[in-house]
Structure 1
Amino acid sequence: MNHRQYIAAMSALGYSRAGAEDLIWLSKDATDVVLRTNNFVPRGDGLYEIWITDERDNFFRVSKDDREFLGTLSEAYELIYEEKREWLEAHPDAQRHSE
């Protein structure tokens, strides 16, 4: 999944373009993280980690299947999409970020 496909997929879930964009940040490197929900941090060889922030503005690497996520940019977009899709299925009355 590339960026355009991510936006289209999130749109199908009810997110606006701005709402979908606000969920991610494509960092230049580990020093370029911001207070977005998901920072895609390049680790070399075309691989990325996903770093998230908590309520105290600390950054943590995302884990999947009890292992820290390390994958392609496409896999990072897909992971975020799948997490949101699954959460929305479990919470059908939840309001999407459509602003």
Structure 2
Amino acid sequence: MEDITVAELKERLDKGQKFHFLDVREEWEFEEDNLGAQNIPLGELPHRLSELEKHKDDEIIVHCRSGARSGNAKKFMESKGYSKVRNVLGGILAYRAL
């Protein structure tokens, strides 16, 4: 799936649109600043993928600090059969700059 811009993400969050939201930053980063997503740090994702099983056919939007870790998470999840994963371009840094 196509990646998503922070402007699109903000609009979708503001409208309360349905998707599963995943934050792959470390716990301390998430605690400092979060957008209400489920937090599974990238390093833990292979061991915690079962937590996302019920969302396998849903759109999953993944974000991190700048978009790099979430891009890796997207590739990993796609390799495991998740077909509707979208990376937030620019991550939370770009989102906060809106």
TM-score normalised by structure 1 residue count: 0.30
Larger relative contact order, structure 1 or 2 (CA cutoff 8 Å, min sep 6): 2
Q: TM-score, normalised by structure 2?
A: 0.30
Considering fraction of residues, name the structure with more strand. 1
Q: Determine which structure has more spread, i.e. the larger CA radius of gyration.
A: 1
